[in-house]
Structure 1
Amino acid sequence: MDDAKGKVYSLEDTRMDSGVESLQNSLKDDPYNKTVRHPTSEQCETRDKVSINTEERLDSAYGSSSLTVESLSEIIGDCEITTSENDDCVEKTEFTELEENLSTISEDGDTVLHLAIIHEDKEFAHQLIQMFPIDVLDIQNNLYQTPLHLATYLSLASVVRGLVEGGASLELQDQEGNTPLHVACEQGRAECAVEMTRDISPCKLSPVLETQNWRGLTCLHLATVNRQHRLMKILMKKGADLNIQEGTSGKTALHLAVELHDMLSVTQLLSNGANVDACMFNGCTPLHLAVGRRDTPIADLLCQSGADKMLRNMEGETPLDLAHGNDDIIALFPFDDIQIQGRSVVRVPF
């Protein structure tokens, strides 16, 4: 089994500094390598359908010799449906062998449904969804992926819809702590996200929107980091908390958008009510980050949105302190203020 480095955005920021270090640098190294497996020799001609944006294996049993796609069509071959002689009810007979086959789990934890989805056999997947009880729909493989995780990776929106309608859970997390909705936000699967959230009540969806993966990121954080503007709009429409902090350094989605110099995301978040003065664990506001990154357009937008220019972080720095040497940003700040013990006193005309 070969390991391949996966694409993961690491946002760990535990240093108590001014918070102006570039997020781009933190994305270079990925401490979270996914376990990967490659097809067996007899499957080498089958295209790897689950690798998204990388060359890694995202499923756990594509190369399983105990259960393969070649045997899928044979699994239900012996199922016969007959009419009872005693009444008009239609009942399944000779179901024991079928039940045994359908309940087979590969050495890597995949069910027949996992494999049908991996090979994008949508028709067969829908048949299995109709046949399986809810608890089988939620079986997780050795990588803790449910069929819904895999259907989302592969952008199989109709299968996602079938699974959700069949009662599949949106809350189960894979080995990286990602729910299927996290996967949609990371991989840009907007249609899958729509299917997952379409008919879900707010009380059931809220826990999913607030769930953090093992890197402390919610769905909105992932959508923001990956510049998935449509997904951000979907999440905000569904009531995602715009000011929830990620778990490593306390950044909100607005902090992340500022770090990425993503004006569209910043505008989108502010127009939907994001707190312009939200503080990280080290006290830095989005304006601290914008000034520290010398991003004049975003700093100007934050100021126009009412950002407090005199808030201090844990190092006692205001955004104005960080603007030293940058005339364009300094021009955004007033010069007629007098500070007494760190508080601004605006000159009042007579």
Structure 2
Amino acid sequence: VSFQPDCSVVGEPSMASSWPLLGQSQNTQHIYGSSMDSLKLDEARMLLSGMDYSRTTCQDEDGDTILHIYTAKGLREYAIAAAERLKEVGRLDAKEHKGKTALLVAVTANQPEIVQDLLSLGADINACDFKGQTALHLAAHYGFPAVLRALLSGRPNVNLEARNFEGMTPLHCAAISHSVTMKAFMAAPADVGLQAKGDEKLSCVQMLIIAGASLLSQEIKSNKTILHLAVKEGNIKLVDYLLSFRLPNMKDFVNMKAHGHTALHMAAGLHSNPNQEKILQLLLDRGADPSIRNLENDQPAHLLQSGPQGERVCCSLFLSVIISKYIGCS
């Protein structure tokens, strides 16, 4: 079903009486937080008030309401008018066939203004789709910093540690997504679009951490922290950023285990990765312990690649740690 904003359907003007009257919409920017076309909003409200009541409040065969459709198309003023109508009947958070509310559709469509509008009207910020993904998960996955900013701005009830059905928090999703983009960029370093997208996704990681997302949260399935995820993919940019924090328990963070493996074990297993040595050094500089053994009783040095390169890395990095410890004790 396609709802067009320029259609002229005459129907019941039911429940429009509670909407702002024409000529009063100059204050709507204070309600929704940013400027919009007030005349277009008046037009949208008039259009919906003239539509059949069921058309503005019911769902089609895919579960879409008129609000889902206007939101997906980025028709802000019409989305506001539809959201006002659905709020009146308690259906602002109606879900379509994939479990997405209009807010989740707005996030996926990268519509930060509509996200802000729906939140102002009372949309559930922690609603999730059929994969358990909240608005934060989706914004983090797609790397939409403007949307994420709208979600985090002044929203004390947002659940930063919500788990999707894969057991991941939004921060885990942001880290994985950033690594995917950085891997693509490494394969095509001249692609400025990929570089820009990588920067956007890193800013999403940063915003979540600044907002209070826990660096210590572990995936349910693998027990990996965001550091494990970054190291496992050889994502030097994200590893460097995460290790730049001055945490009081930095050594504990760096040496956390994921099914027995520390981040140092994972770095040692990055055979042929051009960032391996840099990541190993960063971890050691921030307190990674090369003596910790995994469930197979292996220390990180045992997982290095064989041959001259592995021996060189072992000597230059792990022996330097041992020497520094002796110097520190003398």
TM, length-normalised to structure 2: 0.72
> Structure 1 residues 72, 212: CA separation in 2 closer, same or farther (over 3 Å shift)?
farther
Q: CA–CA distance in 1 between the matches of 2:244 and 2:327? A: 31
| Deviation of 1:320 (Å) | 1.9
Structure 1 residue 212, shift from structure 2 partner: 1.6
What runs of 5+ residues in structure 1 fail to find an aligned partner? 1-66, 84-91, 339-344
Mind listing any 5+ residue stretches in structure 2 that lack a counterpart? 19-44, 179-200
Q: Deviations over 1:226-280 (max 9, x none)?
A: 1120000000010001111112111111011111211111122122346111110
The structure-2 alpha-carbon separation of the partners of 1:169 and 1:82, relative to structure 1 and needing over 3 Å to count, comes to closer
Which AA in structure 1 matches 2:2? T
Paired AA for residue 79 in structure 1? P
Identify the residue that residue 12 of structure 1 maps to in structure 2.
none
Q: Residue 75 of structure 1 contacts residue 101 of structure 1 at CA under 8 Å; is this kept in 2?
A: no
Matched residue, 1:333: 318
8 Å contact from structure 2 (residues 176, 229) kept in 1? yes
Counterpart of 1:172 in structure 2 is 127
Q: CA RMSD in A?
A: 3.0
Q: Residue 225 in 1 paired to residue 210 in 2?
A: no
Cα pair 1:144 1:174 within 8 Å, conserved = yes
For residue 281 of structure 2, give the secondary structure of its aligned residue in structure 1.
helix
CA contact (8 A) 2:110 2:144 kept: yes
Task: Specify the code of the residue in structure 1 equivalent to 2:317.
Answer: L
2:13 aligned with 1:79? yes
How far apart in 2 are the matches of 1:175 and 1:328?
49
- Structure 1 counterpart of 2:184: none
Closer, same or farther: CA 117–334 of 1 in aligned 2, 3 Å: same
Q: Distance in 2 between matches of 1:288 and 1:271?
A: 20
Q: Which residue of 2 aligns with 1:37?
A: none
Structure 2 contact 99–129 (Cα < 8 Å) conserved? yes
* DSSP-derived class of the 1:246 partner: coil
- What CA distance in whole angstroms lies between the structure 2 residues aligned with 1:211 and 1:308? 31
Per the TM alignment, residue 129 of structure 1 is displaced from its structure 2 partner at its CA by 2.3
Shift of 1:323: 2.8
**How high is the sequence identity, in percent, across the aligned residues?**
28
Code of the aligned partner of 2:265? H
Aligned to 2:3: 69
The one-letter code sitting in structure 2 at the alignment partner of 1:302 is: L
Aligned to 2:257: 279
CA distance in 2, matches of 1:111, 1:76: 19
Indicate the structure with greater strand content: 1
Match 1:316 to one of 278, 286, 297: 297
Moved more, 301-310 or 173-182: 173-182
Structure 2: how far apart are the matches of 1:112 and 1:74? 15
Greater relative contact order (Cα < 8 A, sep 6+): 1
What's the offset of the Cα at 1:337?
5.9
Q: Does the CA contact (< 8 Å) of 2:269 and 2:303 recur in 1?
A: yes
| Match of residue 285, structure 2, among 291, 304, 312 | 304
1:108, 1:141 within 8 Å by CA — same for their partners in 2? Answer: yes
Change (3 A) 1:346 1:321: farther
Hey, what does 1:257 align to over in structure 2?
A: 230
SS in structure 2 of the partner of residue 170 of structure 1 = coil
User: Is the Cα contact below 8 Å between 1:310 and 1:319 reproduced in 2?
Assistant: yes
- Give distance in 2, aligned partners of 1:312 and 1:267: 24
Note closer, same or farther for the CA distance 1:301–1:284 as it changes in structure 2 (3 Å cut): same
The C-alpha deviation readout for 1:138-194, integer Å capped at 9, x for no partner, is 111111011011111111111000011111112111122111111111111111110
Counterpart position of 1:23: none
1:70 Cα deviation from its structure 2 partner? 3.5
1:327: Cα distance to partner?
Answer: 2.6
Compared CA separation, residues 97 and 301, structure 1 to 2 (3 A)? closer
